Structures are given as structure tokens and as C-alpha cells.
């Protein structure tokens, strides 16, 4: 997710709340971000191993991944494969899902531009700035990467500039059978999208070109649009009601564009004859458009053939939004450099309900969700109009030059996001009626966001403190029953101070240095178990009146033979000793321990010091079901206990993966 440059604090509070963003600026001066205060009572972590609280989704351990720049330069265009070094790193992390084609970039992404032989693929439009982008990395490349990593994908379909039938064809290409003759239909732009089987046949052809045995991808989670409530997105509407139900929307004084370039500079006349420009969001309600050239209103005519050389006229195609000017004989040529703008009523367009119906006709087993979560959207959908999940983007903004203030803001974030998820669940219960319990929550983007002009230390956004934030965010998502988690982002370009959307797990290829968040995700995906059990931290030291220094979450496997505890010590200076009190589980005499840490809260991994933050392994000797353990300052610790009735073995969930949680686990 990328934002326009400039101070991040200028966003209005309403926009922040809609996006799940939180800005915290007021921190009590008397409270320390470093040393925790204690109550005098001994700290205890109680674990009731037989009190199971539900499944932990294996899809929590994922990333947002963008198609641009060869998928963040993971794809070797010469050899048509994922770079082997990228594949090795990805397998070491063990992520389970990666979102495609990304966030903001999806609002202008037409998936058909990214399939077939690379040399035949047309350029697309960047959702960030409207510039042309290439399409070397499409769905087939993404799925080759995912399948070789052992992961899957969740998809964002184009609502902002797409159609319901385009999205349905995307489902057909991903999941369809070549024997399925179901017609997809003609869309609002007059395009006939053929049949499900036709798109499935194209998929099989492209898989064979990449040397793969043809098969459906069976992608289950499909998002309709990305953050369309925000004015940073290219979309025909930012309003939840037309988004839900379809309709029209006015666009006023909007620069005209070219098919392969939407930057404002292309909305100026070249001085040549027969120029053709386009509105951004066709179709257009007939007769509603007005076109100005350098602020002067020109007139629409049915045909330029009858126009004179000085007539300031144009023709207009409302279906495709094309504005055509004259050649100097039949109609005047707009002067060189003249700005060409239009106002128009865009539509009628499909709404979420149309997307849902069209996509489900192709594959009834997929799950389809909304990027709008506001009460207005939920009320418009009510209990009769279905949606399978809601999407939350849980970014936490930090803007302070003072380290103590900045880290308290950072560490408070997961608690605030937990409240946001609970509020979403309450809204679903209020409006969705009998379907409410079936509606899932997905967090398809989350991380910290630093105001790059106000940051306490360089790269604080990828520091050990950021790792504590990520660990607590995963704890929160486990506790709230979130189905999919896509941390932003897996790999790609980065800003020096870890600014908006630039906190990444792997430094750019070919360096590929694992950042703190890569180690955190690795702990969960490789070693944390699948069934959450009751756990509670009591008498924890406090960083503030409401922010505990020690948090924890526990899990077991289905058979109850393995118990895992993940604990996070957020104190910058103090180790915390806690008594582990375990019931319903008799541990074997030796436990495995993984501890993620670094020299300081500001430590981070980069060239020259690639393992300042890393994970070390150790063993713990156990006697009985009550034992003390000291959690180091600023650390994430995972303790794995084997049941005494089973044979203890060093545990790896996937035997083909290396032990990637020791310092040597990420091979340098």
C-alpha cells in the first residue's frame, strides 16, 4: 500500500478510522517506555491445555505481495522462474499465503494484461501514480511461486476500473474447468467475457508454457476492491452505498487520460491532429459530459465531418469514454499544451452485489469479501445481501522524534487494533442477521507506518521494536479469530526510515536479508500449533496504566501431544521472570525454546550487520507443571513442550524446511 508523499498526519480522523488506522500522539510523560512498573505480586502465565478456544487459521502467516517490478523483483524474466535465492528465503520463512496483485495497484489492474507469453502482454496503469507499468509478473507467475513455496494466494479484483464480468472471468481462469460451458456474460462496457471453460483452457495453455502440469489453482479468498473509501484510490466511487449496490457518480474537472498513461501531464494537447483522449471511468451517462480546453468549454457534435477548421468541437463515445478532436480542417486542433479536462456522470456501474453474484456463478465455493466495513455499507447489505468476509487494514501510524514516545505509540497499536476488530464483529452482528456467525474477518494489510520526517532512529520501522509489534498483532489476530493475515510487505523497494508501506520482510534482491518481521512470522508459521488454548498473564509489569510489558498466547496440536507458548517481553531494559502454571498437560522433561532478540530495541538487520536481530534455540529442563522462566528484555520467546506420554523429538512442522529459527537458519 502506497500513499501520496507528505506528512502522514494530515489524513482526517474519519479516513483513519475507516481504514483501521490509528494515530496516537498523547503519551503520559510520567510513564517510561523502557522500565516496567510492577505490582509487587509475582508474574504468572497460566495455561489450561484442555480448554480449547478454537482453530488458529494457518492463513494468518502471510504477506501482501505486489505484481509490479516483476513482483518486487522475485521473478527471473530471462529464465521464466522465481529466483532460486528468493525461493530458498521464502521456504525458510514458511509463509502460507501472499496477496495478489497487491493493494492500491489492484484498482487499475486488469488481470488479462498479465497472462500469456510475456512479449505479448500490454502495459498497464500504476495504481500509485497512473504511470505505465509492465506485466511480466501475472497470476501464473504468482501461483508458480506460491506452489513451489507451499503457500496459496488471496486475490483482489478490480472494482475501481473493472467490471463484475471481468472479475468472474478472473475466477474462471484461476479455478475453472475446461469442460464448464457456463457463459460469463457481456459487461457494462460491451465486452463479452466468453465461458468458464474458455478461460480454464487458456490457464492450462499458460501453465504448460511454464512447464507445469495443468490444474486449477483453487483460490478461495477474493476481495472486491482495495481501500476504496480513500481518495488515494483510482475508482469510480468512494461511497459505500454505490459500492454496495452499484449506480453512478459524478466526476468534476478530471484530467483526461490515455489508455496506457493516466498521469496528469498526458491530459495536455500535443498540438497534433485527430487527438483522442479518454475519461477514466466509463461508461458515461449519455449527455452528462462537458469538456474544457484550457478552461474553455468546447461543444460535443455527432460527427466532425461537418465542422469547420475553427470550430471548437469534439465527438464523444459514452460507452468507452472517448473524446476525439478535429484535424484542423474538420474541427479545431486543441492548442499545444492546452489542458483538457472533463466533468461527467460515470456509470451505471456494477456494485458489490453484482460482483458477488457473477463470481459465485463461476465458483460457488469461493469466498468474497468487501473492503468497505462502515455501518453505512453493513446497513445497505443488511441480512439479505450476502458477503462472506470483511477486510480490515490495520496500519498503525507513528510520528515522533522522541524514542520513548514513539515506542509507546508503537506498542499500544495492537491493543487498539484488537478493539477495531471487535467493533467490526459487533457491526456484523448488528446488521447481518442469521448470517453473522458465518462472516469472517480478514486482515489483508497491516504493519507500522512511520512519518518519515518524524522518526526517532533510522529504520525504526524495521527494528526489533517493530518485531514486538508484529508478534502482538499476530497474537491479537489469533485471539479474534481472523482467517487471513497479510503483513505488508514481503519484498520490494524500501524507504530509508521505513516509511509508509515500506516495512518489508526481505531486503531487495539479490541481498535478501531477513528483517525482524521475517523471524517473527517464522516463529509462528514453523513452530506455533493449530489449536488455541486458554492462557492468561497475571500481575504482569506495566509500561503504562493499560499496556502490559508481558503478553502471551498458547496453542496445542489436534492430538494434544504438543503445547506451545509464545510470550512477548516489551520492556526495553528489564527481563521478566514469570511462573508457568500448566494444567491438563504433563510435559516431558525437556522443552525446546526459540528466542528472537537483538542488542537493543532499535536494532535492525541490514548489509554490514545482517543478523543483529535473530533467533537462537535452546532447551529447557522441566520438572512438574509449574516452572519459572525468565523472558529477556525486548524479546519474543516460543517454548514448545512435548507431552510426557510421547517420545520427544526436535520439532519441525515441515521436514523439508531447514531449521530457520537459529542464527544459521537464514543462510547468509
What does the pLDDT read at residue 458? 81
Task: Name the average pLDDT for the chain.
Answer: 91
What does the pLDDT read at residue 646? 84
What does the pLDDT read at residue 421? 98
For 252, the grid coordinates are 468534476
3-state SS string for 154-223: EEEECCCCCCHHHHHHHHHHHHCCCCCCCECCECCCCCECCEHHHHHHHHHHHHHHCCCCCCCCCCCEEE
Length of the chain: 668
Q: Identify the bridge partners of residue 343 per DSSP, sorted by sequence position.
A: 290
**Whether the Cβ atoms of residue 464 and residue 636 lie closer than 8 Å to each other:** no
pLDDT higher than 70, residue 25? no
Q: Per-residue pLDDT tens for 324-356?
A: 999 999 999 999 999 999 999 999 999 999 999
DSSP code of residue 232: T
Instruction: Give the Cα separation of 130 and 144 in Å (integer).
Output: 28
User: Does an H or E element contain 474, and which?
Assistant: helix 464-479
Share of the chain above pLDDT 90, in %: 86
pLDDT higher than 60, residue 20? no
Quickly state the pLDDT bin for 469 (edges 50, 70, 90): very high
Task: Name the residue among 204, 211, 203, 201 with its Cα closest to residue 80.
Answer: 211
Q: What is the mean pLDDT of residues 17-40?
A: 51
Quickly state the pLDDT bin for 31 (edges 50, 70, 90): very low
Q: Per-residue pLDDT tens for 275-306?
A: 999 999 999 999 999 999 999 999 999 999 99
What does the pLDDT read at residue 459? 87
Instruction: Give the Cα separation of 130 and 142 in Å (integer).
Output: 23
Instruction: Give the Cα separation of 126 and 109 in Å (integer).
Output: 8
What sign does the CA torsion over 528, 531, 533, 537 have?
A: positive
3-state SS string for 79-130: CCEECHHHHHHHHHHCCCEEEECCCHHHHHCCHHHHCCCHHHCCCEECCCCC
Phi and psi at 324, nearest 5°, equal: -115, 130
For 463, the grid coordinates are 527494528
Q: What is the mean pLDDT of residues 174-188?
A: 98
Q: Which stretch of 267-276, 398-407, 537-546 has the lowest confidence by average pLDDT?
A: 398-407
Quickly state the pLDDT bin for 19 (edges 50, 70, 90): very low
What does the pLDDT read at residue 274? 98
pLDDT higher than 90, residue 657? no
Q: What is the mean pLDDT of residues 16-30?
A: 41
Torsion of CA 620, 621, 624, 628, to 10 degrees: -50
Instruction: Give the Cα separation of 144 and 150 in Å (integer).
Output: 10
For 630, the grid coordinates are 525468565
What does the pLDDT read at residue 499? 54
Instruction: Give the Cα separation of 19 and 371 in Å (integer).
Output: 9
Instruction: Give the Cα separation of 135 and 114 in Å (integer).
Output: 5
Phi-psi region of 227 (alpha: psi -120 to 50; beta: other; left: phi over 0): left
Q: Which stretch of 29-33, 58-62, 216-220, 548-552 has the lowest confidence by average pLDDT?
A: 29-33
Q: Give the max Cα distance, the chain.
A: 97
Task: Name the residue among 182, 302, 306 with its Cα closest to residue 314.
Answer: 302
Quickly state the pLDDT bin for 57 (edges 50, 70, 90): very high
Buried b (16+ CB within 10 A) or exposed e, 289-311: bebbbeeeebeebeebeebeeeb
For 179, the grid coordinates are 469442460
pLDDT higher than 60, residue 22? no
Phi and psi at 499, nearest 5°, equal: -75, -160
DSSP states of 282-296 as a string?
A: --B-TT--EEEETTE
Contacts of 181 (CB under 8 A, 6+ apart): 195, 196, 197
What does the pLDDT read at residue 33? 59
What does the pLDDT read at residue 452? 66
What does the pLDDT read at residue 494? 63
Contacts of 515 (CB under 8 A, 6+ apart): 462, 503, 504, 505, 506, 507, 604, 605, 613
pLDDT higher than 90, residue 140? yes
Q: Per-residue pLDDT tens for 474-518?
A: 999 999 999 999 999 999 766 555 555 458 999 999 999 999 999
Task: Tell me whether strands 313-317 and 296-300 are parallel, antiparallel or unpaired.
Answer: parallel
What does the pLDDT read at residue 502? 57
Among 3-7, 296-300, 620-624, 660-664, the range with the most confident prediction by mean pLDDT is: 296-300
**Whether the Cβ atoms of residue 505 and residue 491 lie closer than 8 Å to each other:** yes
Task: Name the residue among 568, 411, 580 with its Cα closest to residue 475.
Answer: 568
pLDDT higher than 50, residue 5? no
For 33, the grid coordinates are 517506555
**Whether the Cβ atoms of residue 258 and residue 132 lie closer than 8 Å to each other:** no
What does the pLDDT read at residue 647? 59
Instruction: Give the Cα separation of 10 and 424 in Å (integer).
Output: 25
Instruction: Give the Cα separation of 238 and 204 in Å (integer).
Output: 37
What does the pLDDT read at residue 500? 52
Contacts of 658 (CB under 8 A, 6+ apart): 92, 665, 667
Task: Tell me whether strands 340-349 and 43-55 are parallel, antiparallel or unpaired.
Answer: unpaired
Q: What is the mean pLDDT of residues 380-394?
A: 98
Task: Name the residue among 397, 486, 386, 472 with its Cα closest to residue 442.
Answer: 486
Higher pLDDT, 147 or 30: 147
Task: Name the residue among 126, 5, 148 with its Cα closest to residue 67.
Answer: 126
Indicate the burial class of 79 (C-beta count within 10 angstroms; 0-12, 13-18, 19 or more). exposed
Q: What is the mean pLDDT of residues 215-236?
A: 98
What does the pLDDT read at residue 487? 97
Q: Per-residue pLDDT tens for 393-445?
A: 999 999 888 999 999 999 999 999 999 999 999 999 999 999 999 999 999 99
CA distances from 49 to 366, 644, 654 (A): 34, 14, 24
Can you state the angle between helices 139-149 and 196-209, rounded to 10 degrees?
60
Amino acid at each position: 500500500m502506497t500513499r501520496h508523499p507528505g506528512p502522514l498526519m494530515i489524513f482526517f480522523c474519519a479516513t483513519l478510522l475507516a481504514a483501521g488506522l490509528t494515530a496516537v500522539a498523547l503519551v503520559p510523560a510520567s510513564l517510561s517506555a523502557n522500565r516496567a512498573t510492577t505490582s509487587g505480586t509475582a508474574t504468572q502465565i497460566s495455561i489450561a491445555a484442555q480448554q480449547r478456544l478454537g482453530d488458529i487459521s494457518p492463513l494468518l502467516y502471510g504477506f501482501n505481495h505486489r505484481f509490479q517490478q516483476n513482483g518486487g523483483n522475485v521473478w527471473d524474466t530471462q529464465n521464466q522462474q522465481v529466483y532460486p535465492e528468493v525461493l530458498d528465503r521464502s521456504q525458510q520463512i514458511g509463509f502460507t499465503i501472499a496477496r495478489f496483485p497487491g493493494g492500491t495497484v489492484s484498482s487499475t489492474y486488469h488481470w488479462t494484461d498479465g497472462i500469456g507469453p510475456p512479449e505479448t502482454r500490454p502495459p498497464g496503469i500504476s495504481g500509485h501514480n497512473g504511470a505505465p507499468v509492465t506485466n511480466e509478473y501475472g497470476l501464473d507467475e504468482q501461483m508458480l511461486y506460491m506452489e513451489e513455496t507451499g503457500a496459496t494466494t488471496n486475490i483482489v479484483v478490480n472494482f475501481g476500473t473493472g467490471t463484475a464480468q471481468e472479475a468472474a472471468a478472473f475466477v474462471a481462469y484461476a479455478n475453472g474447468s475446461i469442460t464448464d460451458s457456463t457463459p460469463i456474460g457481456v459487461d457494462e462496457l460491451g465486452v463479452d467475457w466468453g465461458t468458464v471453460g474458455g478461460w480454464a483452457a487458456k490457464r492450462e495453455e499458460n501453465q504448460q508454457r511454464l512447464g507445469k502440469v495443468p490444474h486449477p489453482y483453487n483460490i478461495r479468498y477474493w476481495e472486491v476492491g482495495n481501500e476504496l473509501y480513500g481518495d488515494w484510490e483510482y475508482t469510480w466511487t468512494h461511497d459505500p452505498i454505490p459500492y454496495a449496490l452499484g449506480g453512478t457518480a459524478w466526476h468534476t474537472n478530471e484530467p483526461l487520460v490515455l489508455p496506457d498513461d493516466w498521469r496528469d501531464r498526458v491530459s495536455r494537447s500535443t498540438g497534433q491532429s485527430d487527438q483522442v483522449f479518454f475519461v477514466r471511468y466509463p461508461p458515461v451517462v449519455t449527455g452528462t459530459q462537458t469538456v474544457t480546453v484550457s478552461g474553455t468549454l468546447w461543444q460535443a457534435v455527432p460527427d466532425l465531418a461537418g465542422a469547420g477548421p475553427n470550430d471548437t468541437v469534439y465527438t464523444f463515445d459514452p460507452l468507452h469514454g472517448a473524446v476525439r478532436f478535429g484535424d484542423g480542417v474538420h474541427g479545431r486542433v486543441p492548442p499545444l499544451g492546452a489542458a483538457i479536462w472533463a466533468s461527467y456522470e460515470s456509470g451505471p456501474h456494477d456494485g458489490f452485489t453484482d460482483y458477488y453474484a457473477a463470481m459465485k456463478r463461476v465458483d460457488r465455493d469461493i469466498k468474497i469479501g468487501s473492503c468497505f466495513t462502515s455501518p453505512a455499507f453493513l446497513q445497505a447489505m443488511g441480512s439479505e445481501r450476502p458477503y462472506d468476509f470483511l477486510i480490515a487494514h490495520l496500519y498503525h501510524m507513528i510520528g515522533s522524534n522522541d524514542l520513548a514516545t514513539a515506542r509507546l505509540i508503537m506498542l499500544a497499536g495492537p491493543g487498539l487494533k484488537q478493539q477495531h476488530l471487535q467493533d467490526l464483529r459487533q457491526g456484523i452482528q448488528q446488521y447481518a442477521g442469521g448470517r453473522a456467525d458465518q462472516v469472517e474477518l480478514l486482515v489483508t494489510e497491516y504493519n507500522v507506518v512511520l512519518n518519515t520526517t518524524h522518526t526517532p532512529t533510522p529504520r525504526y520501522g524495521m527494528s526489533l521494536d517493530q518485531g514486538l509489534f508484529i508478534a502482538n498483532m499476530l497474537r491479537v489476530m489469533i485471539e479474534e479469530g481472523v482467517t487471513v493475515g497479510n503483513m505488508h510487505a514481503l519484498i520490494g523497494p524500501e524507504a530509508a526510515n521505513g516509511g509508509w508501506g515500506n516495512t518489508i520482510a526481505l531486503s531487495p534482491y539479490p541481498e535478501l536479508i531477513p528483517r525482524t518481521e521475517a523471524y517473527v512470522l517464522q516463529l509462528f508459521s514453523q513452530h506455533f500449533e493449530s489449536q488455541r488454548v486458554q492462557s492468561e498473564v497475571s500481575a504482569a509489569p506495566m509500561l503504562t496504566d493499560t499496556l502490559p510489558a508481558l503478553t502471551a498466547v498458547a496453542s496445542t496440536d489436534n492430538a494434544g501431544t504438543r503445547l506451545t507458548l509464545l510470550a512477548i517481553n516489551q520492556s526495553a531494559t528489564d527481563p521478566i521472570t514469570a511462573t508457568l502454571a500448566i494444567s491438563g498437560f504433563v510435559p516431558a522433561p525437556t522443552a525446546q525454546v526459540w528466542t528472537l532478540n537483538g542488542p537493543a530495541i532499535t536494532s535492525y538487520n541490514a548489509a554490514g550487520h545482517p543478523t543483529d536481530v535473530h533467533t537462537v534455540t535452546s532447551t529447557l529442563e522441566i520438572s512438574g507443571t509449574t516452572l519459572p522462566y525468565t523472558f529477556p528484555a525486548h524479546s519474543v520467546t516460543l517454548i514448545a513442550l512435548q507431552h510426557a506420554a510421547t517420545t520427544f523429538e526436535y520439532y519441525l512442522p515441515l521436514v523439508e524446511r531447514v531449521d530457520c529459527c537459529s542464527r544459521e537458519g537464514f543462510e547468509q
